[in-house]
């Protein structure tokens, strides 16, 4: 067992966990370039080091550096089969003005130059060029309560390196199982030492924190695959998409009664943040692209799980709006089946629909969209699907 600190939010990593952390930080991750730009092989510990060095030179104050979310959960409970996709690294920094945001962005983009092959002429490569070639997305939030930025580096297999620069962030987790942060400073100091050879006797003391609050409780949730959160209305999107993802991965609510109340808050916040059906569709499709790489067969189960939650717990929408959202999710699920060349069993599926104009097209299928057709856009026609299995 881990040795608990005096504060119930913290715990020290065991030697076994430190070894897994070392593997994560020293394993090269490919950053795929667009066009003719080469793939960069980047070790997390190296990019953390050069970014930290650049920020220090630019006089950006760094409080600490942490490993966040699913990667931290993987390190703490790998024996439970936990996995991770994105490598989420948080730099705690001071961002008092717009100038600091710009300095951080330029520092990161310039750091990427260090990872280009030696044969590449770097003199004429600008920061903007590196952004276009290697950055998947950039986000900046500057409000009275939240000041942070994110630079996500591209990986075609879904394991993006996400560098997050946080001055302040009110809500740092969605659910207890993804609330862990591992403080890396002592490990980074160890790497910069003369020897740098990790052993049980020489390993540094490394502390993890649960932003959920109670470290032991959050670890129990992770160990036994339990779902718990608080105040989901504080989360952008309400945590609805992540919640459905946990359900489809066989996580169970820690409190069956409480979760039904929380589901209503999740749905309400989701529809506040994404009030238009087209916005909802874009958000769901983006989530599928980013979280189900290599798991195509799980997409259908995920969408039908999401549909079930929305159907049972949405109280903030008018009847017509609610039906439009449910129809949109159903159509996305049928599209997923079509992409996998799977046709639902006719004995278990009944479709009721009012034909839209394009259904007269002889190439249109009522049950699935064949692979290679243009992306489907939601059309507001009456559509209902009923499965005897009770999933829909």
Mean pLDDT calculated for residue range 76-84:
78
Q: What DSSP string runs through 304-315?
A: HHHHHHHHHH--
Among the listed residues 98, 90, 125, 104, the one whose alpha carbon sits nearest the alpha carbon of residue 57: 104
Minimum mean pLDDT range among 64-68, 79-83, 177-181: 79-83
CA angle 388, 258, 146 (to 5 degrees): 110
- Predicted confidence at residue 81, as pLDDT, reads 67
* Lowest-confidence pick of 31-45, 195-209, 266-280, 366-380: 366-380
Distances (CA, A) of 94 to 61, 138, 180, 291: 6, 18, 22, 31
CA-derived radius of gyration, the chain? 23
Question: Higher pLDDT residue, 4 or 91?
Answer: 91
pLDDT of residue 106: 94
Query: Which of 127-136, 183-192, 289-298, 356-365 is predicted with the least confidence, judged by mean pLDDT?
Result: 356-365
Cα–Cα distance measured from residue 267 to residue 272, given in angstroms and rounded to the nearest whole number: 9
Over residues 129-146, the mean pLDDT reads 94
Closest CA relative to residue 11, chosen from 3, 19, 23: 3
Q: How far is CA 284 from CA 31, 53, 328, 332, in A?
A: 25, 38, 10, 9
**Contact indicator for 333, 244 with CB cutoff of 8 Å:** no
% of the chain residues with pLDDT over 90: 70
Q: Report DSSP letters for 5-55, one per residue.
A: -SSTTEEEPPHHHHHHHHHHHHS-EEEPPSTTPPPEEE-HHHHHHHHHHHH
Residues 163, 59 contacting (CB under 8 angstroms): no
Structural tokens at position 138: 């950039």
Residue 370 has pLDDT above 60, yes or no: no
Helix (H) or strand (E) holding 62: strand 62-68
Residues 210-254 have pLDDT tens digits of 999 999 999 999 999 999 999 999 999 999 999 999 999 999 999
Instruction: Report which of residues 208 and 343 the model is more confident about.
Output: 208
Quick check: pTM over 0.75?
yes
Q: Where are the alpha helices (DSSP H) in 229-371?
A: 240-248, 256-273, 277-291, 296-313, 319-339
Q: Give kind and range of the element (H or E) at residue 64.
A: strand 62-68
For the cut 80, the answer to whether the pLDDT of residue 182 exceeds it is: yes
Name the nearest CA neighbour of 184 among 204, 159, 161.
204
62 pLDDT tier (thresholds 50, 70, 90) = very high
Q: What is the pLDDT of residue 387?
A: 45
Q: How far apart are CA 303 and CA 332, in angstroms?
A: 8
pLDDT recorded at residue 2: 47
User: How confident is the model at residue 211, as a pLDDT?
Assistant: 96
Average pLDDT of the residues in 78-101? 88
Residues 346-366 as b or e (16 or more Cβ within 10 Å = b): eeebeeeeeeeeeeeeeeeee
* Structure confidence at residue 375 (pLDDT): 52
Q: Residue 46 contacts by C-beta under 8 Å, 6 or more apart in sequence? A: 115
| Least confident range of 126-130, 276-280, 353-357 | 353-357
Closest CA to 167 of 93, 108, 103: 93
Report, as an integer, the average pLDDT of 79-92.
Answer: 84
Helix or strand (DSSP H, E) at 352: strand 349-353
Cα 278 to its chain centre, rounded Å, is 21
pLDDT given at position 383? 47
pLDDT at position 361: 54
Beta strand 161-168 with 87-93 is parallel
Under DSSP, is residue 214 helix (H, G, I), strand (E, B) or coil?
Answer: coil
Q: Output the pLDDT for position 371.
A: 47
pLDDT at residue 343 in the model: 59
pLDDT (0 to 100) of residue 159: 83
What is the pLDDT of the chain when averaged over all its residues?
Answer: 87
Q: What is the DSSP string of 140-208?
A: EEESSS-EEEEEEE--TTS--EEEEEEEE-S---SSGGG-EEEE-HHHHHHHTSSS----TTTPPP-EE
**Per-residue pLDDT for 145 more than 70?**
yes
């Amino acid at each position: 067992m881990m040795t608990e600190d005096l504060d119930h939010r913290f715990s020290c990593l065991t030697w076994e966990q430190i070894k897994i952390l070392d593997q994560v930080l020293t394993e090269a991750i490919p950053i795929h370039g667009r066009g003719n730009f080469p793939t960069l092989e980047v070790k997390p510990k190296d990019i953390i080091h050069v970014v930290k060095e650049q920020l220090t030179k630019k006089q950006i104050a760094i409080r600490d550096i942490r490993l966040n979310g699913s990667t931290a959960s993987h390190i703490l409970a790998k024996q439970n089969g936990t996995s991770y996709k994105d490598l989420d690294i948080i730099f705690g920094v001071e961002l008092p003005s717009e100038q600091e945001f710009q300095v951080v962005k330029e520092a990161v983009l310039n750091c990427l130059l260090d990872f280009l092959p030696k044969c590449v002429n770097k003199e004429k490569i600008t920061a903007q060029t590196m952004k276009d070639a290697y950055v998947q997305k950039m986000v900046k939030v500057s409000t009275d309560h939240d000041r942070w930025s994110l630079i996500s580096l591209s990986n075609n297999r879904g394991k993006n390196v996400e560098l997050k620069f946080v001055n302040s962030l009110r809500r740092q987790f969605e659910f207890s199982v993804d609330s862990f942060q591992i403080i890396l400073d002592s490990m980074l100091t160890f790497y910069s030492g003369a020897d740098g050879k990790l052993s049980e006797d020489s390993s540094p003391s490394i502390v993890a924190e649960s932003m959920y609050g109670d470290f032991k409780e959050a670890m129990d949730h992770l160990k036994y695959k339990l779902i718990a959160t608080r105040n989901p209305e504080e989360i952008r999107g309400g945590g609805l998409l992540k919640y459905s993802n946990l359900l489809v991965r066989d996580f169970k609510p820690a409190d069956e009664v409480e979760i039904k109340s929380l589901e209503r808050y999740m749905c309400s916040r989701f529809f506040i943040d994404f009030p238009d059906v087209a916005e909802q569709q874009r958000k769901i499709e983006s989530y599928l692209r980013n979280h189900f790489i290599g798991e195509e067969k799980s997409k259908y189960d995920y969408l039908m799980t999401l549909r079930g939650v929305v159907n049972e717990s949405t109280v903030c929408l008018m009847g017509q709006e609610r039906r439009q959202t449910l129809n949109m999710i159903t159509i996305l699920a049928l599209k997923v089946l079509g992409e996998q060349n799977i046709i639902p069993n006719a004995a278990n599926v009944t479709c009721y629909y009012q034909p839209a104009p394009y259904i007269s097209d002889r190439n249109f299928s009522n049950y699935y969209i064949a692979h290679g057709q243009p992306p489907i856009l939601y059309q507001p026609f009456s559509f209902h699907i009923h499965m005897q299995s009770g999933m829909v």
